[in-house]
Amino acid sequence: MTTEQTQSIQVEDDRSGLGIETLRRAIADNLFYLQGKWPEIATLNDFYMALANTVRDRLMPRWLNTIRNYRRSEVRVVAYLSAEFLLGPHLGIKLINLGIEELVRQAVADSGLALEDLLAQEEEPGLGNGGLGRLAACYMESLATLEIPAIGYGIRYEFGIFDQELRDGWQVEVTDKWLQYGNPWEIPRPESAVMVRFGGRTEAYTDDEGAYRVRWIPARVVKGVPYDTPIVGYYVNTTNTLRLWRAEAAESFNFQAFNQGDYYGAVDQKIYSENLTKVLYPNDEPLQGKQLRLEQQYFFVSCALQDMIRLHRGAGGDLRQFHQKFAVQLNDTHPAVAVAELMRLLVDEHRLPWDAAWEVSQSTFGFTNHTLLPEALEKWPLPLFGSLLPRHLEIIYEINQRFLDQARVHFLGDSQKLAQLSLIDESGERYVRMAHLACVGSHAINGVAELHSELLKQTVLKDFYQLWPQKFQNKTNGVTPRRWLLLCNPRLSQLITEHIGTDWVCQLEQLRQLEAYAEDREFQRQWRQIKRAVKQDLADHIQQTLNIAINPDSLFDIQVKRIHEYKRQHLNVLHIITLYNRIRRNPDIDIVPRTFIFGGKAAPGYIMAKLMIKVITSVAEVVNNDPQVCDRIKVVFLPDYNVTNSQPVYPAADLSEQISTAGKEASGTGNMKFSLNGALTIGTLDGANVEIRQAVGAENFFLFGLTIEEVQQLQESGYNPWDYYNRTPDLKEAINLINSGFFSHGNRELFKPLVDSLVYDDPYLLLADYSAYIDCQDTVGQRFRETDTWTRMSILNSARMGYFSSDRAIREYCQDIWHVTPISVQLKPYVQADA
């Protein structure tokens, strides 16, 4: 035996070691023992799973030591409650954050594989609809990077956001079977399951000490099983937990039916229970009003709070100090029932006096609002709420009574004000207003961009602002530079690092040093070269997957986001048709070649949004096949827009379309990703566009359109889109062309709902903004020709985006709302495998 052979192999080496040889051995080992395959018969997915497990092993010491920190009594933990976490693929970002991307690339290459091919195998967990869910994912990543102890609580949907296919230019929804080949990133923890009750009735009783109490006798019980996913920070040990809950049948509950021979009854119960977390509701900014949705909300919130209480008590904590252990953030109103649930747990189950419990609750919760759209403000019909959560309705009544007593003093004699503030909407059919419950139950309320936070105070939450101005804050959204620059744009990241070092990755404000190079000819050349290369990659991908040839030197004009009337993808279409008409009118016209790229899903029940997709694909079909124009305009609709597919898109944009009607987009975060990657924005004064423009400089931003004040004035004075249609020839021509059946094989009915909505109603003021938009687009075209100017503007956009890092946003939440501080995680040895 050689000396080497006599040394014991420490478990640490095999499962945490980072030598190339160790990595290769680990991958081969996982392939054999976990996947049960020889390399010769292994699929790419088997190799992906083997690699994913290899990486997961390397996270374990960090993860377990982070969990140890949660349990320390003096540590305050952030609990981020969100019905959606749109994480995107894990493997790439975990390699980057662990700093092992190159090592692993080499280890994989030594086995004859390309890392990119393995990365492409991953099914992303699409457990969210759009911006709100993606924000939660960026925030989890920043919390870990900033070494803040945090747990994300949400739902482990078996089917996430549907996959989008296009058939004949229409969206078709396909079930997202993201779990079908297994999920290497999660660990089920059945031993930590909790029970969640639904329905039934309540009953008053007197306890041993003679106190009046209420008990809830539920009709059904569902088991919540947690599945944990590690979220690792960038170059730190902190690896926080995302704990997602899956509903299962509570077996004990079925025994009776089963013993009586009612086998099907018992199985029904199982199916009923498992349905709870089966599928994500696919509406962004929804008003669903579906019972199952309320069941989902209550389910995960109850699981989360029971889990937190157990953790707190397990660490020897007193429930009167619960708020010192946990800072709980409500990500929109979806988890707002938490306010009533925490009260129920504290008062009914743990026998705290009401006032003490209320103080704990209010000190625990913070509430973020993410939208002003009236149709998105959640309210539940009272009978539905009461039948599902009878005890919570009583608690809400009690909260409301006490709250209104307090408000009455402030608004003496103003009964209308009290009716407006009430947690119960009694103006017609009665509803529970979830935003009101969240406001009353939280110590801090915030919007997600300056403009949005101001509008909240003036509109939907005006009465609450009058009552408690001190509760209101702004926390402008941010995005993580690790995924949205370092990972998605490696070429640009490298160029930046070569010039200013690596600090920007965690201190995004450092990008400002690039300003010094904005006029530097050589730097500009390199900047352009990279943009060109990235555009070429996207062009190749589009050629391969959609068989559309696009010119990488054309202006890439990109709008990717959920399809919604307020986001106005159809305004963009009107511009395309206007250009098309110009070329047809004057075939020799000198216009900048443009490639219009769209991507986004429409809610399956949102007919108008689906028609918007059809109009885009129909215009694409005509334009792309018209020999007169197709070398100057191309239109592409990228199917199945999701996190994975978006990553090559942001870096390739020259122009970012952020054209929502002023006052409608709460913030936007795509706007940030584009600008960070050097795209210029054409946008309205809406959401975070306002702050992006301030940051990058008005001269580096293409502004157009009505301001929020002008929008309000126009609507108050009686907006008539028909007048705009009639007095704007280009607009009329564009709309008429759609109406004539030109883009629909002569079918004049197809787009009639869309056209009628525009010329007779136009709730989002496309026609009012049309001329300003076209003029602004003309300026964009001219400026694009001034290559050096454009490049300078592009560099300055990236250089000045530091503020929009989710690290900055999370620091603000920590300081102003959660009052938590970083704690570094010490890696204690976990195996002593000495010979």
318: three-class secondary structure by DSSP: coil
Nearer CB in complex with ligand GLS: 133/386: 133
335 binds ligand GLS per the rule CB under 6 A: no
CB of 483 to ligand GLS, least distance (A): 16
Stretch that binds ligand GLS, among 57-65, 663-671, 696-704, 822-830 (CB under 6 A): 663-671
CB of 479 to ligand GLS, least distance (A): 10
Stretch that binds ligand GLS, among 39-47, 172-180, 298-306, 665-673 (CB under 6 A): 665-673
By CB under 6 A, the count of residues binding ligand GLS is: 17
Q: Return the ∠ at Cα 186 (arms to 15 and 327), rounded to 5°.
A: 110
Measure the CA–CA gap between 333 and 350, rounded to whole angstroms. Answer: 26
CB of 801 to ligand GLS, least distance (A): 16
Restricting to residues 91-110, name those near ligand GLS by CB under 6 A.
none
CA atoms within 13 A on the CB side of 96: 22
Q: Where are any strands of DSSP class E within 332-464?
A: 365-368, 379-381, 424-425, 431-433, 444-447
Task: Please name which of 546, 544, 622 lies closest in space to residue 581, comparing C-alpha atoms.
Answer: 622
Measure the CA–CA gap between 419 and 425, rounded to whole angstroms. Answer: 7
CB of 632 to ligand GLS, least distance (A): 33
Measure the CA–CA gap between 127 and 789, rounded to whole angstroms. Answer: 41
CB of 564 to ligand GLS, least distance (A): 9
Q: Site map for ligand GLS, 266-305, x if CB under 6 A? A: ------------------xx--------------------
Q: How many residues does the chain have?
A: 835
Stretch that binds ligand GLS, among 370-378, 420-428, 713-721, 823-831 (CB under 6 A): 370-378
Cα–Cα distances in angstroms (integers) from residue 350 to residues 319, 389, 745, in the given order: 8, 19, 68
Q: Is 699 left (phi over 0), alpha (psi -120 to 50) or beta?
A: alpha
Dihedral, 394, 399, 402, 408 alpha carbons, nearest 10: -110
Judge contact between 608 and 567, C-beta under 8 A: no
Dihedral, 784, 788, 791, 793 alpha carbons, nearest 10: -80
Helices (H), 677-739: 689-696, 708-716, 721-727, 729-739
Instruction: Out of 35, 364, 669, 675, point to the residue binding ligand GLS (CB under 6 A).
Output: 669
318 token code pair: 């007193």
Nearer CB in complex with ligand GLS: 389/448: 448
CB of 687 to ligand GLS, least distance (A): 5
44 token code pair: 């790419």
Nearer CB in complex with ligand GLS: 96/438: 438
Helices (H), 547-658: 569-585, 607-624, 643-646
Residues annotated as catalytic are 370, 561-562, 567, 669, 673
Judge contact between 360 and 318, C-beta under 8 A: no
477 binds ligand GLS per the rule CB under 6 A: yes
435 binds ligand GLS per the rule CB under 6 A: no
Restricting to residues 113-142, name those near ligand GLS by CB under 6 A.
130-132, 135
668 binds ligand GLS per the rule CB under 6 A: yes
453 binds ligand GLS per the rule CB under 6 A: no
CB of 342 to ligand GLS, least distance (A): 24
Phi, psi torsion values for 446, nearest 5 degrees: -135, 150
Q: Site map for ligand GLS, 552-591, x if CB under 6 A? A: ----------------------------------------
Nearer CB in complex with ligand GLS: 595/669: 669
Restricting to residues 21-80, name those near ligand GLS by CB under 6 A.
none
Nearer CB in complex with ligand GLS: 237/329: 329
Q: Which residues touch 255 (CB under 8 Å, ≥6 apart)? A: none
371 binds ligand GLS per the rule CB under 6 A: yes
Nearer CB in complex with ligand GLS: 422/646: 646
Nearer CB in complex with ligand GLS: 303/448: 448
Nearer CB in complex with ligand GLS: 425/686: 686
794 binds ligand GLS per the rule CB under 6 A: no
Task: Please name which of 478, 493, 379 lies closest in space to residue 695, comparing C-alpha atoms.
Answer: 478
Measure the CA–CA gap between 243 and 81, rounded to whole angstroms. Answer: 10
CB of 688 to ligand GLS, least distance (A): 7
Nearer CB in complex with ligand GLS: 784/803: 803
Measure the CA–CA gap between 364 and 326, rounded to whole angstroms. Answer: 7
- The residue with its CB nearest to ligand GLS is 131
CB of 129 to ligand GLS, least distance (A): 7
CB of 664 to ligand GLS, least distance (A): 8
Instruction: Out of 35, 296, 642, 667, point to the residue binding ligand GLS (CB under 6 A).
Output: 667
Stretch that binds ligand GLS, among 422-430, 497-505, 659-667, 778-786 (CB under 6 A): 659-667
686 binds ligand GLS per the rule CB under 6 A: no
Q: Which residues touch 741 (CB under 8 Å, ≥6 apart)? A: 747, 748, 750
Nearer CB in complex with ligand GLS: 196/449: 449
Instruction: Out of 104, 456, 666, 780, point to the residue binding ligand GLS (CB under 6 A).
Output: 666
606 token code pair: 């949102």
Helices (H), 165-290: 251-259, 263-275
CB of 666 to ligand GLS, least distance (A): 4
Q: Return the ∠ at Cα 305 (arms to 453 and 82), rounded to 5°.
A: 40
Nearer CB in complex with ligand GLS: 161/492: 161
Task: Please name which of 825, 808, 816 lies closest in space to residue 147, comparing C-alpha atoms.
Answer: 825
Nearer CB in complex with ligand GLS: 565/665: 665
Segment (H or E) for 438: helix 434-441
Stretch that binds ligand GLS, among 273-281, 338-346, 358-366, 666-674 (CB under 6 A): 666-674
CB of 130 to ligand GLS, least distance (A): 4
Judge contact between 85 and 154, C-beta under 8 A: yes
Q: Which residues touch 30 (CB under 8 Å, ≥6 apart)? A: 49, 50, 51, 53, 54
Residue 264 is which amino acid?
Answer: Y
Judge contact between 580 and 623, C-beta under 8 A: yes
Stretch that binds ligand GLS, among 25-33, 393-401, 483-491, 660-668 (CB under 6 A): 660-668
Stretch that binds ligand GLS, among 217-225, 368-376, 490-498, 702-710 (CB under 6 A): 368-376
Judge contact between 308 and 226, C-beta under 8 A: no
Sign of CA dihedral 342, 343, 349, 353: positive
Nearer CB in complex with ligand GLS: 281/751: 281
CB of 567 to ligand GLS, least distance (A): 9
DSSP state letter for 184:
T
Q: What share of the chain is helix, strand, coil (3-state, %, to 5)?
A: 55, 15, 30
370 binds ligand GLS per the rule CB under 6 A: yes
> Residues in the site for ligand GLS, rule: CB under 6 A?
130-132, 135, 284-285, 370-371, 376, 448, 477, 665-669, 687
